[in-house]
Amino acid sequence: MILTGDEIQHELKAKRIVISPFAQESIEPNSYGFRLDSNLICYDNKVIDACEKPIEHHYQITKTGFCLKLGHFYLGSTLETMGSDFYAATLHARRSVSTMGMWIQFSAPLGHTGAKIPWTLEIMVAHPIIVYPGMLIGKIAFWQPLGDCIRYKGKYTASTDVVASRLSQELYSKQGGF
């Protein structure tokens, strides 16, 4: 079951959902509208290797805007710290953003129960698009789970901003396979 906007607000007051900073006007019928923070990461590798830490290039989205280019992959972050110890979350683009030709969180939309962080967004565009810091970019939905909850304790637990992939920390041996 998906939580309604009213229920999100209720659970926020009951401290069972975290959204910080919170803006009343961003409550939607069954989600909460979140904003884009100002830091972006691109990778500089010619070939990214799933076993190696990618080479990060950091960009700042300034008030005059930052133009996202076609064929590039960007990681951004939500401005808000969001999550819940009681509900699972999914993140989506807002219609106003996807109708401009932008994907956010296109490949991994699930937010685990227990993760209360600014969410790293996977971003790509269908044509050049300018983005601005603090723009409303997506929406988070909360879902009632079935069964005993365990809380996320993964490698992004302490995130405070956009975080590049940490897949290489899983210490796979190239020779030994997975």
Binding residues (CB under 8 A) for another protein: these are: 1, 43, 45-51, 54, 71-73, 75, 88, 105-110, 112-114, 120, 122, 124, 143-152, 154-156, 163-167, 170, 172, 174-175, 177-178
CB of 70 vs another protein, minimal distance in Å: 10
Tell me if 163 sits within 8 A of 37, measured CB to CB.
no
CB of 63 vs another protein, minimal distance in Å: 27
Beta bridge partners of 130: 67
CB of 118 vs another protein, minimal distance in Å: 13
Q: What token pair was written down for 144? A: 């009632």
Q: Compute how many other C-beta atoms are within 10 angstroms of the C-beta atom of residue 9.
A: 17
For residues 9 and 159, which CB has a smaller minimum distance to another protein in the complex?
159
For residues 22 and 167, which CB has a smaller minimum distance to another protein in the complex?
167
Whole-angstrom Cα distance, residue 178 to residue 176?
7
CB of 9 vs another protein, minimal distance in Å: 21
For residues 132 and 152, which CB has a smaller minimum distance to another protein in the complex?
152
Q: Is 122 a catalytic residue?
A: yes
Q: Which one from 7, 28, 56, 122 is the annotated catalytic residue?
A: 122
Whole-angstrom Cα distance, residue 136 to residue 141?
15
For residues 114 and 133, which CB has a smaller minimum distance to another protein in the complex?
114
Whole-angstrom Cα distance, residue 96 to residue 42?
24
Tell me if 115 sits within 8 A of 150, measured CB to CB.
no
* 3-class state of residue 12 by DSSP: helix
What are the distances in angstroms from CA 19 to CA 32, 57, 60, 177? Answer: 9, 28, 23, 40
By annotation, the residues acting in catalysis are 122
